[in-house]
Amino acid sequence: MKSIIESKIFHCDKCGEIVIKLIFAPGCLTAIDINNVAIAAKSLYEHDEHEVWIIGDSLNPADEDARHPSWKRKPQFAMSPENIRPSEFNKRIVSAQKYHCL
């Protein structure tokens, strides 16, 4: 695991508040690996009220839209990771940005 944890933040299109934070977990493919990164990165999101996801590596590096193990940590902790394609996640992000202030 890298000692530097990368993250990406997405803001509401209207008010500018953070709606989703993605924390990337390179080299992580299992729930245990992702949970270890979540614990190590907890200071990056423990006080956040918006969605926070820990995103593992691609399950098929040859496919640019392959599923990634993704574990929602905030605001409601998911019991286990989901395998989500980047294209599916992009739709979630766009929707969160668009409907945040409605």
Confidence band (pLDDT; 50, 70, 90) for 12? very high
What is the 8-class DSSP label of residue 6? P
Q: What is the dihedral of CA 53, 58, 64, 67, to 10 degrees?
A: -60
Tens of pLDDT, residues 36-94? 999 999 999 999 999 999 999 999 999 999 999 999 999 988 999 999 999 999 999 99
CA-to-CA distance for 19 and 10, rounded, in angstroms? 6
pLDDT of 102 above 90: no
Tens of pLDDT, residues 82-97? 999 999 999 999 999 9
Cβ atoms of 82 and 70 closer than 8 Å: yes
Residue carrying structure tokens 């006080």: 47
